[in-house]
Amino acid sequence: MAEETGNDNQVVQGNEIVQSNEEAQAEEVQGDELVPAEDLTQGDEVQGNELVSAEISTPPTLRRRRKKSLVWEHFTIEAVSGGATRACCKLCKQTFAYSSGSKIAGTSHLKRHITLGSCPKIKNQEHKLALTPAGGTDNDGEGTVERPSKRRYRYTGYANAAFDQDRSCSCLAKMIILHDYPLHIVQQPAFTTFIDSLQPRFRVVDVETMEGEVYAVYQKEKENLTQAFSTMPGRISLTIGLWTTSQTLGYVSLAGQFIDSEWKIHRRMLNFMMVSSPHSENALSEAISASLSDWNMKDKLFTITLDNDCSSHDIYSANLRDYLSNKNNLMLKGQLFVVRCYAHILNAVAQDVIASIHGVIYNIRESIKFIKASPTREEKFAEIALQLEIPSTKTLCLDVTTQWNTTYLMLLAALDYKQAFSTLETSDDNYNEAPSAEDWKKVEAACNYLKLLYDSAHSIMAAANPTSNLFFHEAWKLQLELSNATGHEDPVFSSIAKDMHERFDKYWKDCNLVLAIAVVMDPRFKMKLVEFSYSKIYGVEAAKYVKVVDDAVHELYKEYVAQPLPLTPAYVEQGEGNNAPASENSTQTTAPSTGDGLVDFDMYLSEIATSQPTKSELEQYLDESLTPRIQEFDILNWWKLNTLKFPTLSKMARDILAIPMSMVSSGNSIFSAGTGTRMLDDYRSSLRPEIVEALFCAKDWLQYSPATPEAPSTALVKVDAP
């Protein structure tokens, strides 16, 4: 039954608003051409796909018309015989009646084709066509009073916006992985209500199904990474992390660092494996072997970096080297194989310093708590500092006990206000935690040495992706400073320095060779910085230690020479002897005489070239002048540009510069006291091991996956003026 609305030009049939003849005439036009009004029809209706028209003549006038309906974004007009035209769907190519000579149809049947799922190309998609008067309703939609609509409407239809249950589930799995959400979030009522409000057709899956989705994401990303590894031109170095649980089991995390064919450095998580005893070197060796087999990289292992304590480092090194050398071809007989984490040694030394004055630190913390307890006390302390004319602008603040840098900054600020603390104690009977003069001397000594560690850590953090050559600069300066500090005339200073040096000297002895070889690969320093720094550290015995480094560099180079040069297709046209000097000498010895009467001279040149052996790439590199030291020097780009000049040496440089000297690349975690064994939370410990591995690894891999491009919006949206 038809119902008339407040507007005489509208008729409601069922739930559909049908425009009257006059409005249809105003809306539907043919392009921008001038159409005689008598050629337009009023009262046109469409039954099925056929045009039925009731002709009503109008005075002959000319009007310029243009298409307004948004359906023309999805339809084109095609001419047929007899002067008629039909509307053709851009998606399914189905045609519909539009005009028959002088008779023009409306667009309601075209709208229904797009928005109601009649088009087979967009069937089973969500379509909405809301014809809401632009004026809307008053009273928050609860009333029935309508504003004048002026016969204008807002169309909101997502004609081509596809809904894909599988794609949505995969996106949900990635969200859970990237943000560490628990898998049982899919069962939380608030979450399911939220999802239903966004897309009622999405079927929220159970926990078991979501586990499968997470594992599917992991498998897909693993395939992509495996493909990337297949084109890796050099070797890979591993970092090993140890995790414990509240149970008796533990986990081992393995990450690989390498430099790709474009000379870009990468670090990727490889495995997160459950082991019965993570602190057992046998279990660790087996985990490393299993990982290398899993990724088909048994012949590409270069070094491993550990974050374990000094006490067990020798045992780990010996057992790992013995176990893995039987299964892998270790370079330089395994001398560079086990590397200790630089960030860990900084943290360990810093914690030793803090522990040596823990009593004083306690008093300072309690003092700051007392002052910060009320605004009145803060004002009083500020007045005392002003009266004493203390020039410091530092702010007193409590430290985070697990971040040693915050403890250092707290002590540094408190040291400036030491007189103010003493004055406060004499003027306030409620305060009795002021450190003594001897205590402040301990704080001064601790801050003096913590600054060395603090500055060194910040130098490493300054590089987004630090290459191994950067660490020698920090390590040798720290070794020299601590060695000299042990002879400090003040026993308070020398006592702290001796404890620090004892621990750091163990690291220096274990790692100075790999650190030195790495800096030799820096064209700004080569062997020159090794010679200079060793002369400072070892004095008259420096030459002996320099020779150890020089011999190791040459021996390692020989091992690379023995390998077939075309390790990757990038070197296909380069032979082992095709470096620049060899080709130049070849040109000189085989060049024909120019006919200038100097045949004897040519023979002389040939004899010289024969009697003088060609320099190796390594010798040529070391003999060349140092590259100027500029602030923005990019060492990887330098080797990329010099690969053709040093084809064999560049292979060696690629592997050495990729050694992860620190397991922590950036951020505050470099100051964390917990860089050793970490604890896996109870929730993750309760999951199956393969799901734990999928969550950890996929989170790392997804950070580097290319972003999925957003599908272009195809919504029909028309916002009319009120």
Tell me the pLDDT band of 669, cut-offs 50, 70 and 90. confident
The alpha carbon torsion through 136, 140, 142, 145 (nearest 10 deg) reads -40
Q: Which residues, 6 or more positions from 203, have their beta carbon under 8 angstroms from its beta carbon?
A: 165
The rounded Cα 411 to chain-centroid distance in angstroms is 34
Give, as one character, the DSSP assignment of residue 660: -
For the ranges 50-64, 235-249, 365-379, 692-706, which has the lowest average pLDDT?
Answer: 50-64
Report yes or no: 468 and 474 within 8 Å, Cβ to Cβ: no
Let me know how many helices (H) and strands (E) the chain has, helices first. Answer: 24, 20
Kindly tell me if the per-residue pLDDT of 328 is higher than 70. Answer: no
The rounded Cα 166 to chain-centroid distance in angstroms is 26
Tell me, what's the pLDDT at 651? 96
Q: Encoding tokens for residue 262?
A: 């474009």
Q: How large a percentage of the chain has pLDDT more than 70?
A: 73
Q: What is the 3-state secondary structure (H, E, C) of 88-102?
A: EECCCCCEEEEEECC
Q: Which residues, 6 or more positions from 382, have their beta carbon under 8 angstroms from its beta carbon?
A: none
Question: Distance between CA atoms of 546 and 513, rounded to whole angstroms?
Answer: 10
- Higher per-residue pLDDT: 650 or 433: 650
Three-state SS at 247: coil
- Higher per-residue pLDDT: 66 or 567: 66
Average pLDDT, the chain: 79
- Dihedral angle sign, alpha carbons of residues 140, 145, 150, 154: positive
The stretch 8-24 carries a mean pLDDT of: 42
* pLDDT tens for each residue of 616-632: 999 999 999 999 999 88
For the ranges 151-165, 539-553, 625-639, 669-683, which has the lowest average pLDDT?
Answer: 151-165
The stretch 492-504 carries a mean pLDDT of: 94
- Higher per-residue pLDDT: 179 or 613: 179
Tell me the pLDDT band of 323, cut-offs 50, 70 and 90. low
Kindly tell me if the per-residue pLDDT of 234 is higher than 70. Answer: yes
Tell me, what's the pLDDT at 565? 61
Tell me, what's the pLDDT at 599? 81
* pLDDT tens for each residue of 270-304: 999 998 776 676 788 888 889 999 999 988 999 99
The stretch 294-319 carries a mean pLDDT of: 73
Report yes or no: 320 and 240 within 8 Å, Cβ to Cβ: no
The stretch 455-478 carries a mean pLDDT of: 92
CA-based nearest residue to 350, from 413, 416, 402, 417: 402
Question: Distance between CA atoms of 611 and 590, rounded to whole angstroms?
Answer: 15
117: left (phi over 0), alpha (psi -120 to 50) or beta: left
CA angle 460, 466, 470 (to 5 degrees): 65
Tell me, what's the pLDDT at 534? 97
Tell me, what's the pLDDT at 337? 85
The alpha carbon torsion through 314, 681, 204, 169 (nearest 10 deg) reads -20
Q: Encoding tokens for residue 400?
A: 């985070």
- Dihedral angle sign, alpha carbons of residues 32, 37, 39, 42: positive
- Higher per-residue pLDDT: 271 or 119: 271
Three-state SS at 240: strand
Count how many Cα atoms sit within 13 Å of the Cα of residue 3 in the half-sphere of its side chain. Answer: 8
* pLDDT tens for each residue of 91-106: 888 888 888 767 777 7
The stretch 402-430 carries a mean pLDDT of: 93
Kindly tell me if the per-residue pLDDT of 18 is higher than 50. Answer: no
For the ranges 154-163, 165-174, 576-585, 615-624, which has the lowest average pLDDT?
Answer: 576-585
Q: Encoding tokens for residue 263?
A: 């000379």
β-pairing verdict for 265-275 and 250-259: antiparallel
Residue 71's DSSP bridge partners are: none
Report yes or no: 127 and 117 within 8 Å, Cβ to Cβ: yes
For the ranges 103-117, 492-506, 626-640, which has the lowest average pLDDT?
Answer: 103-117
pTM above 0.85, yes or no: no
* pLDDT tens for each residue of 167-222: 999 999 999 999 999 999 999 999 999 999 988 889 999 999 999 999 999 999 99
Kindly tell me if the per-residue pLDDT of 463 is higher than 60. Answer: yes
- Residue carrying the six token digits 């409306």: 106
Q: What is the 3-state secondary structure (H, E, C) of 376-434?
A: HHHHHHHHHHHHCCCCCCCCCCCCCCCEHHHHHHHHHHHHHCHHHHHHHHHHCCCCCCC
